[in-house]
Every structure is written in C-alpha cells, then in structure tokens.
Amino acid sequence: MISFPNCKINLGLKIIERRSDGFHNIETIFYPLNLTDVLEIIKSPDGIFSFQTGGIKISGKTEDNLCKKAYDMLCKDLPISPVKIFLFKNIPIGAGLGGGSSDAAHTILLLNKLFDLKLSLEKMEDYARLLGSDCAFFIRNKPVFAYSKGDKFGEIKIKLKNYFYAIVKPEININTSDAYLNITPKPNKKSIIEITKLPIEKWKDELKNDFEETIFQQFPEIKIIKNKLYQKGAIYSAMSGSGSAVYGIFEKKPKIKNFFPNCFCQVGKL
C-alpha cells in the first residue's frame, strides 16, 4: 500500500504559556498543503521488518524515526505482523512543515488499512498524539484551529482555494525544542480565528508567528526570504511553525525558481 504524506503550514502561531509538563500551550491554524513524501508499507514476505528511505537524507537511527515508532506502538496493542516500509523523503526536514509528523500519522493510517484493524479516526488520533504534538492533525488532514500543545483541534472555516503558495527553505534546520528556549510566552490579545476572518490583505499586520522575532535574530537570512516573497507579490508571508521554511500566499502563480539560490522552493495551489 502506498500513501502520500503531505505537509502543513501554520497560519499564525501564538505561544500562550509554558506548561507544568515542560511543553507550551499554543494557538495556531494548521492548513494542509499538497507537497508530499511517498510512503509504502507491505506485509513482509520473509517475516522480517525493514525500513528503508530515499530522497532527502534522514539522519539518526531507524529506531528514532517516527514511522518506526508508530509501527512499534501499534504492534504492542494490535495484531500486526512484520512489514517492510519504504519512505521517500521530499518534504524538507527541520522546516516547520510537519513532514515527520505526517509520515508517522500516515503510517498509522496505512497499517490500519493493511491489517484491517478497524480503528476509528478518534483512536488513530489518540495514537498519533503519543508521537508528537501535531501528528494527530494529519489523520483527518483538514484545516483546523489547534490549541493546547497543538494536539487539540477546533473546527474552522477558511477558504484559500483560489490562491497559490510558495515555500522557500534555506539550508538551515531548526530544532523545535531549541526554538522554544528563547521564547517569552504572552497571552493572546486577539484571537487568530478572528484575524483570519479579515480580508487576507490585512493579515500582514495582524497574523503573527511568535517564533519569528527570535529566529530572525539568529538567522537573518530567513527574514530576508520573507521580505523577498513580499517583493515577489505575496499578499501574506510568514515562517511556518518554528521554521526555517517561509511561505507566501499569492493571487497568481509566482515565478520564484531563480529568485532564491541554494534554497528548496516549491510552488502550488492552496
């Protein structure tokens, strides 16, 4: 079985407070995009588990990969035999796009189909929450208002289908835990939900990502990318999650191929 784990962007990101468990309460909107990895899982004909990757190089041990963790987690509770997993990595790593979380969620979805586990969406979300704060989002894969650790969701109506996006990621990887170290949480003065009800032309002054202030100080080249996207005609531009990818929203399909040397660039329809 094959699936195509997609990425997401954050429309605004407010860091509200530090929690007693060491995490942070946040508010954001997760919006899915059509930039994808490729994930294949088949039952192992020789009864031996294997995990292989291609595309963008993934560092670290197999045991630490979220796809393997998802498989191990389900194996403890459910009748699952050894499988062979192949992951072709196309979504940039350390970009704030949720690629690893999406791979994990889609592993759960594929295993549910492959072994006819009959897990409900709610149960698969519960499993996904154990792997990462934004993993559960990718089970249903639709725009949501995310709060708490980013693992609880509320419905939201937001229509961006007539717009285009551009994603630009420089050769910088940002660890989410490190990104939080320099953050001073602040109460949210204005709801992100209310801001996104405004005309998109007004988002530039209202819809903020709290990570940008400190990340831009550490990596000014990321701020330059954001400014360049506005120069190319973006109606709205922001860093996604804790970075380092920056996206722009455009009325017309942008031409940015040669505008960002040494960067990963992707253009598509929202």
Q: How many residues does the chain have?
A: 270
134 is catalytic: yes
Distance, CA of 102 to CA of 59 (rounded, Å): 17
Give strand ranges (E) for the chain: 2-3, 6-18, 24-36, 38-43, 50-55, 83-89, 144-147, 152-155, 164-169, 236-239, 246-250, 264-269
Q: In this structure, are residues 113 and 83 in contact, taking their beta carbons and an 8 Å threshold?
A: no
* Options 8, 14, 68, 89, the catalytic residue: 8
* Options 134, 151, 169, 226, the catalytic residue: 134
37 is catalytic: no
Distance, CA of 181 to CA of 38 (rounded, Å): 33
Strands 164-169, 264-269: pairing is: antiparallel
Question: Which candidate, 49, 6, 53, 41, places its Cα nearest to that of 111?
Answer: 41
Residues carrying an active site annotation: 8, 134
